[in-house]
């Protein structure tokens, strides 16, 4: 039986912290290293700006900022393979939306374009499965850091 093809993965979390603090944890290089790119990160936070995320076990992945609307929206294109720039057929779009909710912030992340990757259906299914797990864990870490810090 063929794997189910998903074009997108969406996760959300409530963070008991104001949107401006969540934004700083989401976008500051030193915070990104704690919740997402454990080997380090460098982000040029302007549309078209270069992004780099590193993991010791996976390598360095390149991205490009698409939309930056502090402190509520941020999106970037991320290459699926290390050491290559993001392009059509080999990258997905990652979108973060932050919405004030009571004393805290609702954070939604969506990774789209999985179906458009130039890989086999099995690889697309693996990418979607891994992305779902990775974003769940990353959002939990982001929420814990934002709630506990004075970022």
Q: What is the pLDDT of residues 103-130, one digit of tens each?
A: 999 999 999 999 999 999 999 999 999 9
Asked if residue 1 belongs to a domain, the reply is: no
Question: Which two structure tokens, joined as six digits, stand for 134?
Answer: 């990775």
**pTM given for the model:** 0.92
Say yes or no to pLDDT of 3 above 80: no
- DSSP percent split of the chain into helix, strand, coil, nearest 5: 30, 35, 30
Helices (H) and strands (E) counted in the chain, each on its own, are 3, 7
The domain tally of the chain equals: 1
Asked if residue 24 belongs to a domain, the reply is: yes
What domain range is 144 assigned to?
Answer: 8-148
Say yes or no to pLDDT of 151 above 70: no
Asked if residue 73 belongs to a domain, the reply is: yes
Q: What is the CATH number of the domain that holds 75?
A: 3.30.530.20
Average pLDDT, the chain: 93
Tell me the average pLDDT across 82-99: 95
Predicted local confidence at residue 6, as pLDDT: 76
Alpha helices in 6-60 (DSSP H): 19-27, 29-35
| Percent of the chain's residues with pLDDT above 90 | 91
Asked if residue 3 belongs to a domain, the reply is: no
């Amino acid at each position: 039986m063929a794997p189910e093809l998903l074009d997108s993965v969406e996760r959300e979390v409530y963070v008991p912290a104001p949107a401006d603090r969540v934004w700083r944890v989401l976008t500051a290089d030193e915070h990104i290293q704690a919740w997402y790119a454990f080997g380090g990160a460098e982000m040029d936070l302007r549309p078209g700006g270069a992004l780099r995320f590193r993991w010791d076990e996976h390598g360095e992945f390149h991205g490009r900022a698409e939309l930056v609307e502090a402190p509520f929206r941020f999106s970037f294109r991320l290459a699926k393979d290390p050491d290559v720039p993001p392009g059509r057929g080999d990258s997905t779009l990652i979108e973060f939306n932050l919405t004030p909710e009571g004393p805290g912030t609702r954070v939604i992340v969506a990774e789209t374009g999985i179906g458009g990757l130039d890989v086999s259906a099995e690889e697309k299914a693996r990418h979607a499965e891994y992305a779902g797990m990775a974003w769940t864990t990353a959002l939990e870490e982001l929420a814990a850091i934002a709630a506990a810090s004075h970022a």
